Amino acid sequence: MSQQAGTPGQTSGTASAAASAATGAAGAAASAPRASAKPLSEAYDVALLDLDGVVYVGGNAIPGAGQALRKASEEGMRLAYVTNNANRTPAAVAEILTGFGVAATAEDVVTSAQAAARLLAERLPPGAPVLVVGGMGLRVAVRERGLRPVSTAAERPAAVVQGYNPGISYPLLAEGGRAVAAGALFVGTNADRTLPSAHGPQPGNGALLQVITYATGQQPLVAGKPEPPLHEESVARTGARHPLVVGDRLDTDIEAAQRVDADSLLVLTGVTGPAEAVLAPAHQRPTYVAEGLSGLTEPQPEVGSGPGGFLCGGWTARWTDGGELDLSGQGNRIDGLRALCAAAWSRDGVTPDAVSRALKTLADSAS
Ligand SMILES: [Mg+2]
């Protein structure tokens, strides 16, 4: 077990500075949400934004998202939209964004289909046949990279690439399975186990990839988040020098950012709530947390640490002698969450029980 906050002799300071001094490692997992004196839109040149849960949820724009993005853009930040969805073309995604009041062109959108096509083009000669088990977005991306989409194993494809398409058929999966069994390279656009739907989670591309994997014993190379190729494609397309990854999922967006040593902003408008953020494992902790995209145009406050606990805004989070996390004070919910994250991330093996009372205090403060 790690030491308690407020160990006698510990100097006061920022929680993240204390921890980096302790580990001595640059790029180590976040030990507390970091401070930024400048608004993030000035501190980073490009925002690489996830879509669902960040800009919109299902069929609805997130209130304030369009306005926040316009403001970030006016302040000089370039915006790119990065999606694991391989079914839609970038132009189709841009059209959806524009419909939500977020001005975007196809050039502003990067899909896992494009990242998969790049991964293929790096490994295959120009014009190589590629069996596409997926939708139009994937076929277009493969063709744009100078490869030749085909539909049967008889055409002796050099690779099989599979991405989500609601019309996927057994005959096409069977062609893909035969080609992989015959030695074709197997690539998946993304490995999301589930997809959100109005009626709850349903099987995603990661589940569908298991058909060919199970039949052939071949694991696919995966391009989408949290694997690095989609991020690399986004950086290459935007020319980003100091990008900020913005997302709502710890196991895709935030983990992907950590794997490539990029900074990240977790927003609470999607699938991740305060409890998940506080309990995040080290490899899924964001650099910053904000309620939503308005956080892009705001400075980020310091989380202080000292004998009294972890402080942010009007809040103090501290560990009790009984090993329970305690939250006191008042102010913005997000500052309370920042203090809680710093306290929880300072220890190993934190359990949901140990933080439940502090989370309730935080939730009650907002109501
Ligand atoms: Mg999302």
pLDDT at residue 16 in the model = 54
Say if 2 falls within a structural domain.
no
Say if 164 falls within a structural domain.
yes
CA 32 / ligand 1 centre spacing (Å)? 22
Q: Are residues 262 and 349 in the same domain?
A: no
pLDDT at residue 23 in the model = 38
Say if 260 falls within a structural domain.
yes
CA 248 / ligand 1 centre spacing (Å)? 5
Q: Are residues 126 and 209 in the same domain?
A: yes
CATH of the domain at 211: 3.40.50.1000
Say if 172 falls within a structural domain.
yes
Q: Are residues 198 and 273 in the same domain?
A: no
Number of domains in the chain: 3
**In the predicted model, what is the mean pLDDT of residues 43-70?**
93
CA 339 / ligand 1 centre spacing (Å)? 24
Q: For the purposes of burial, counting CB atoms within 10 Å of the CB of 27, is it exposed (0-12), middle (13-18) or buried (19 or more)?
A: exposed
CA distance 214 to 257: 30
Q: Per-residue pLDDT for 72 more than 80?
A: yes
Residue at which a domain ends, from 297, 318, 351: 297
**In the predicted model, what is the mean pLDDT of residues 121-140?**
97
Q: What percent of the chain has pLDDT over 90?
A: 83
Q: Are residues 273 and 236 in the same domain?
A: yes
- The mean of the pLDDT values for the chain is 91
Q: Are residues 285 and 329 in the same domain?
A: no
CA 54 / ligand 1 centre spacing (Å)? 6
pLDDT at residue 367 in the model = 63
DSSP code, position 252: I
pLDDT at residue 58 in the model = 75
- Give the domain extent around 206: 115-220
- R_g of the chain computed on alpha carbons: 22
Say if 175 falls within a structural domain.
yes
Using DSSP, state whether 319 is helix, strand or coil.
strand
Which residues are annotated as catalytic? 50, 52
Q: Are residues 132 and 212 in the same domain?
A: yes
Say if 1 falls within a structural domain.
no
pLDDT at residue 239 in the model = 95
pLDDT at residue 17 in the model = 52
CA 70 / ligand 1 centre spacing (Å)? 20
**In the predicted model, what is the mean pLDDT of residues 316-334?**
96
* Span 11-53, pLDDT tens digits: 356 665 544 444 333 344 568 999 999 999 999 999 999 999 9
* Span 267-289, pLDDT tens digits: 999 999 999 999 999 999 999 99
pLDDT at residue 59 in the model = 77
Using DSSP, state whether 136 is helix, strand or coil.
helix
Q: Yes or no: say if 87 and 163 are a contact pair by the CB < 8 Å rule.
A: yes
pLDDT confidence tier of residue 6, bands split at 50, 70 and 90? very low
Reference 132, options 140, 124, 121, 144; nearest CA is 140
Q: Per-residue pLDDT for 258 more than 50?
A: yes
Q: Kindly give the residue spans of alpha helices, DSSP state H, lying in 145-193.
A: 170-181
List residues bridging with 228 in a β-sheet: none
pLDDT at residue 78 in the model = 97
CA 84 / ligand 1 centre spacing (Å)? 9
Q: Are residues 179 and 248 in the same domain?
A: no
Say if 3 falls within a structural domain.
no
Q: Please state the pTM of the whole predicted model.
A: 0.88
Residue at which a domain ends, from 276, 297, 318: 297
pLDDT confidence tier of residue 84, bands split at 50, 70 and 90? very high
pLDDT at residue 13 in the model = 62
pLDDT at residue 210 in the model = 98
- The Cβ of residue 94 has, within 10 Å, a number of other Cβ atoms equal to 20
